[in-house]
Amino acid sequence: MSSYASLLKSPGVARIIAAQLTARFPFGMLSLALLLHVEHVHDSYAAAGLVLAATSIGQAIAGPLTSRWMGRWAMRPVLILTTVLCTLSIGTIALVEMSVPLYMAIGLVAGLSMPPVQPAVRTIYPKMVNSRQLTPLFSLDASAQEIIWVLGPVITVFLAVQISTVTAILTAMGILVVGSTWFISSPEVGRVRIPLSRRKLGAVLGRPPVLLATVTGFLLIGACAAVEVGVVAAFGEGGSESGVILAIFAIGSLIGGLSFGHRPIGPTALAMRMLGVAIGLSLAIVSLNFWWLALTMLIAGVGIAPALAVMFAIVSASVKFSETAEAYGWVGTGQLIGAAIGSAIAGFVIDASGAPGAFVVAAAFAIGGVIVATVFRRWHPDLRDRDASPIPDTEPIAVQPS
């Protein structure tokens, strides 16, 4: 814990973490709010899953593009443009009742314009701390973001049940505006310049650790998305228990991140962390009893933040600084495609066979993550005796012949 305390004393670190958490807080609200809203309007979890899938696909497409744009046009212009477009799209979903295809279309636009706060801040981090502090900072970031998933679902369910699903969506939209404005105004956002990458879009996926993090992130977040849909279906649209269970899931991740996230990262680190998630989700299949789900979600959650911290660290250590934003964009794309597919499959399985099927889907995704991380562990860099700083960019130097 002392390493985390010293990190927060570093100039600007606590402020930038708080700003980016506020800007990303709506991400912990919007998926559940959209799920509840569309299910309420169309009385179908499959329809709600399709809208969530369209939104996530939009984010997935935008991830590498908007991240790369930050190297071309700087962070602030890209963040401002995406924040404005995303706010308008979310407001339209909340205030205008539409058919499912129209909801999907607007959801796609909302996803395409989600502000790329996560790639931006993880590109900024290596410029704020020394190399020894970078891995603990990634862990602290992954752990702190669980506050989003602890409070977000609880607030969303409370607002949706006590007032309306429209209020839940508009509240998330308001927080998005406030948080993004705070983050965009942070001095580091204007101070850190991302060098323009000279490689083609997507070339960074040729680096095995980036591909490993992208595929494993796809499976991890796919499992989490299936859990979210399954929990809501298990306790009903008006059940406050769903928010509590999802909060416990996130609390487990917070505990795991603070307890294990700062430990040295060896070649089997990702597989071991994914194994904990898979065990918890597999146990959840046994029963949908509230207390059993609370226990199994706590167990599963313990591995999430540590797994994410490993992904961030192995990506950072494997790419040039000019490629970091795009690399994190691709990792985010993998996670968002996982969320889209996980929620969509879970929605159709629930409509066909009931809520327990969603937890089977979640467990299958998590077990897949364990298999991928184990089979391709040779792609996993050993960071036990090295730091996670990006590879410096170098330029050829012209030399005059003598």
Q: Which amino acid is at 50?
A: L
- 327 within domain boundaries: yes
Structure tokens at 89: 């799209």
Is there a domain that residue 375 lies in? yes
Identify which has the larger pLDDT, 319 or 93. 93
- Helix (H, G, I), strand (E, B), or coil: what is residue 76? helix
Is it the case that residue 303 has pLDDT exceeding 60?
Answer: yes
- 218 within domain boundaries: yes
Residue 253: domain span: 14-193+201-379
**Considering the chain, what percentage of its residues have pLDDT values greater than 70?**
91
Please state, in angstroms and rounded to a whole number, the distance separating the CA atoms of residues 335 and 342: 10
Quick check: 125 pLDDT over 90? no
Closest CA to 214 of 363, 353, 304, 338: 338
> Is 395 among the domain residues?
no
Contact 229, 385 (CB under 8 A): no
Beta bridge partners of residue 88, listed in sequence order: none
Pull the structure tokens for residue 106.
């607007």
- Supply the pTM of this predicted model: 0.76
Closest to 331 (Cα-Cα) out of 69, 186, 134, 119:
119
Taking the C-alpha atoms of residue 164 and residue 145, their distance in angstroms, rounded to an integer, is: 26
- Count how many domains the chain has: 1
CA dist 82 and 119 (Å) reads 14
pLDDT tens track for 36-90? 899 888 878 778 878 887 887 888 788 788 877 887 788 899 999 999 999 999 9
> Distance between CA atoms of 118 and 144, rounded to whole angstroms?
13
Quick: pLDDT tens for 247-271.
Answer: 888 888 888 887 776 677 888 889 9
pLDDT of 103 reads 92
Residue 101 maps to a domain: yes
- 57 vs 20, higher pLDDT: 20
Three-state DSSP at 397 gives coil
Q: Can you tell me the mean pLDDT for 8-24?
A: 86
Q: What does the mean pLDDT of the chain come to? A: 84
User: Encoding tokens for residue 148?
Assistant: 């989003």
Examine residue 401 and state whether it is found in any structural domain, yes or no.
Answer: no
170-185 pLDDT, tens per residue?
A: 999 999 999 999 999 9
Residue 399: pLDDT band (50, 70, 90) is very low
Using 50, 70 and 90 to split pLDDT, how confident is the model at 402?
Answer: very low
Per the domain annotation, does 138 fall within a domain? yes
- Separation CA 173–CA 348 (nearest Å): 28
Taking the C-alpha atoms of residue 58 and residue 75, their distance in angstroms, rounded to an integer, is: 20
Residue-wise pLDDT for 350-398, tens only, equals 888 888 899 999 999 999 999 999 999 888 888 777 766 666 655 443 3
| Listed residue (345, 377, 119, 38) closest to 222, CA to CA | 345
CA torsion sign, 295 to 151 to 59 to 137? negative
Question: Which pLDDT score, from 0 to 100, does residue 387 have?
Answer: 66
Compute φ and ψ for 320, nearest 5 degrees: -75, 155
Q: Which amino acid is present at 38?
A: V
State the residue for tokens 């860099």.
381
Q: Are 325 and 63 in contact (CB under 8 A)?
A: no
Residue 396 domain-assigned (yes or no): no
CATH of residue 72: 1.20.1250.20
Residues 376 and 75 sit within 8 Å (Cβ to Cβ): no
